[in-house]
Amino acid sequence: MGSTMSEVAIDVFPWVQVYKDGTINRLAGTETAPQGLDPDTGVLSKDVVIVKETGVSVRFYRPNLAKSGEKLPLVVYFHGGAFLIATTAELKYHTCLNKLVSQANVIVASVNYRLAPEHPLPAAFEDSWDAVQWIADHNKESSMDESEPWIKDYVDFDHVFLSGDSAGATIAHYLLCKDPKLRISGCVMIHPYFWGKDPIGAEKTDHLRRAMVDNWWNFVCVSDKGNEDPLINPFADGAPDIEKGFGSCDKLLIFVAEKDILRDRGIYYYERLLGCEWKGNIEVVESKEEDHVFHIFNPDSVEANNLIQKWASFINQ
């Protein structure tokens, strides 16, 4: 007999239910899009497994009309989903990245990291680090045994960007702090999933959503540090000293949304960096009357199109 609603043991609203028999039911992020040519944008995509032991893969995107040898900026992208849901093949993310590639004329490497609870954190961070290091290996003088042609043929390694939304933006921050073996030209963080023990801003009065985010984090991370884990709080004890900079990265773009419970964390991150030793360029853009990752859920809205355009412009500045 299959699992029934009465057998739910853990409810991580609104993303995941875990039944008493161990079955995991994901309630969102399950609609997938095939790789291949997108006729609306003229963008071509393909999936490549890069770590056979873990199954970590990358969905690559490139303009279909790009000529071999034409060097384009590379965006290494990390999807959101609270570390619980979605993949690189998720339809909404696939749609978003097709639009970005079309407008910015770039290559995108979207990393398909492993999800909790099957793979508790820091698995997602470790997988993403492995992916970036694998990409960096393509820039060495010695050839790889199994190099990826789309990297070798199209990527300009002098223009590499990290980017992600929500949990993916948190991963991007983590990788900047680790200083990957790539020259990172810039980073775009969309509605970063930062958190902490002490409420700030709207968290002080929005007890319902505050508790909901607490529940998500406590479920995916087995650390005894809770909301003060450096993986989720960039200013917690033991976190890298980001105020001294991010290696080669000299510009950051942070998007926040006015109605997002995570908005104040993004603003706080921005303000801390403004007054620190790091003198890179940093900009924050707020989308009025919008909520968390609205551009994923409503990709044809005016504000979503504005976000994509700003993102593309940042890459091509």
Active-site residues, by number, are 166, 260, 292
Pairwise CA distance, residues 260 & 134, whole Å? 34
Residues in the chain: 317
Instruction: Count CB neighbours of 256 within 10 A.
Output: 23
Q: In what order do the strands lie in the sheet with 43-51?
A: 36-38, 43-51, 56-63, 107-112, 72-78, 155-165, 184-190, 251-257, 281-287
Distance CA 15, CA 182 (A): 34
CA distance 272 to 264: 12
Mention every residue, 6+ apart, whose C-beta is less than 8 A from residue 12.
18, 84, 215, 216, 219
Helix (H, G, I), strand (E, B) or coil at 17: strand
127 and 111 Cβ atoms separated by less than 8 Å: yes
**Rg of the chain (C-alpha set):** 19
